[in-house]
Amino acid sequence: MMDRPKSWQPMNLAAIQQRLAWLQQQPDGIIFCKASGVHYVVVRKDKYKIKLALVEKVNLYTDLLQSVFDINNPLHLVSEYTQAMLLGLVWQSQPQRIYIAGFGGGRIPLVLHHYFPETVIECADVDPIALEAATRCFGVQLDDRLTVAIQDGREYLEQHNPDMQYDIIMTDVFFGNGYFPHRLATQEFYQLCEKRLSSEGVVLVNLLQRDEFYAEKIKTFQSVFSQVCVCPWKDINSVLIGSNSAILEKDEIVARAKSLQDGYQFSFPLTDRAREVILGTELAEAVPNLEKAQILHDDAPPVGYFDSWLL
């Protein structure tokens, strides 16, 4: 089993539950709605689940939940892709510092903050209204170990403490229609991430499989990291995992995930997500057109990349 820090003690779950107590009394339906840019930030209660979405002002449409959680079990990661994002712990089981681009409802930061009380978690998000929704409706409380800058995720990494290194870097940035910013998908961005990683660090990226440039984004990721794995969820999301540390085989990934599961007693099945990982050597068969895909660069976005955002 992977050793936990000797001083390990989870943060107070009762405090999280107290911050969420008012939600138990709310009827089903919309409990938070505020305009933010071209969207409304909407939080809806559906029985025991709380869901955050960005709804487009023009047509009142969204097909992508930003965050969801269970009031009765706030430390349970409901979405399988969020569970897969925690596979970064397989490479860095005792992270000292984590950076997350994209905050949403703050589900992953809240869980990491609870289980890793010695870890500093820095986040960046462009939407202050989403942050308001997270602190009001998702049990998030910011402190000196959990911070959120209202800033573009790449700019934060470029400008904030440029000598700082992170053990885990995560990117989970989408607009309501599923648009993933080009400047967070290029070789130059991943080179920046690699520069800001500790020697054994790992980068994780949430992608949508329906993305027209899905293969290009994986190919670009592969151009920077020597080990690239993909954890797919149905036909919806895929989490990319990249590192330039020692190569891990599948059985080692699963064994380490099981040790984390046993050690921290996560309520979500991290070991199952590890078993679903596709190694880099298998990606050419798993991802159509991967070998023919082009690497994405800052100065040359492919034709049609921004079309879905303009619709």
* 59-73, 120-134, 223-237: least confident range: 59-73
Which amino acid is located at 179 in the chain?
Y
* pLDDT of the residue at 298: 94
Q: Establish if 228 belongs to a structural domain.
A: yes
Q: What is the pLDDT of residue 6?
A: 47
- Residue 104 belongs to a domain with what CATH number? 3.40.50.150
| Summary mean pLDDT of the chain | 90
CA dihedral 195, 196, 199, 201 (to 10 degrees): -120
Q: What is the mean pLDDT of residues 213-239?
A: 94
pLDDT digits (tens, 9 = 90+) for 239-252: 999 999 989 999 99
Does 35 score more than 90 pLDDT? yes
Handedness of CA 101, 106, 107, 112 (dihedral sign): positive
Q: What is the pLDDT of residue 38?
A: 80
54: confidence class by pLDDT, cuts 50, 70, 90: confident
So what's the pLDDT on residue 7?
A: 46
Q: Does residue 166 lie within any of the structural domains?
A: yes
Nearest by Cα to 64 from 83, 79, 77: 79
> What's the whole-number mean pLDDT along residues 160-176?
87
Give the C-alpha separation, 119 to 112, whole Å.
Answer: 8
Is the residue at 136 inside a domain? Answer: yes
> Within a domain: residue 3?
no
Q: What is the mean pLDDT of residues 255-278?
A: 97
Q: Provide the CA 55 distance to its chain's centre, in angstroms.
A: 20
| pLDDT band at residue 306 under the 50/70/90 scheme | confident
What is the SS3 string spanning the chain? CCCCCCCCCCCCHHHHHHHHHHHHCCCCEEEEEEEECCEEEEEEEECCEEEEEEEECCCCCCCCEEEEEECCCCCCCCCHHHHHHCCHHHHCCCCCEEEEECCCCCHHHHHHHHHCCCCEEEEEECCHHHHHHHHHHCCCCCCCCEEEEECCHHHHHHHCCCCCCEEEEEECCCCCCCCCCHHHCCHHHHHHHHHCEEEEEEEEEEEECCCCCHHHHHHHHHCCCCEEEEEEECCCEEEEEEECCCCCCHHHHHHHHHHHHHHHCCCCCHHHHHHCCECHHHHHHHCCCCCCCCCCCCCCCCCCCCHHHHC
**Is residue 306 assigned to a domain?**
no
pTM, to two decimals: 0.93
pLDDT, position 3: 52
Overall domain count for the chain = 1
* Residue closest to 227 by CA, chosen among 207, 208, 200: 200
* pLDDT of res. 62: 60
Residue 115 lies in a domain: yes
Instruction: Answer yes or no: is pLDDT of 124 > 60.
Output: yes
Give the torsion sign (CA, 280, 79, 127, 212): positive
State the average pLDDT over residues 64-70: 84
User: Confidence band (pLDDT; 50, 70, 90) for 79?
Assistant: very high
The reported pLDDT for the residue numbered 301 is: 87
> In this structure, is residue 114 part of a structural domain?
yes
Least confident of 51-55, 76-80, 142-146: 51-55
- Let me know if residue 307 belongs to a domain: no
Q: Which domain holds residue 137?
A: 13-297
pLDDT at residue 311 greater than cutoff 50:
no
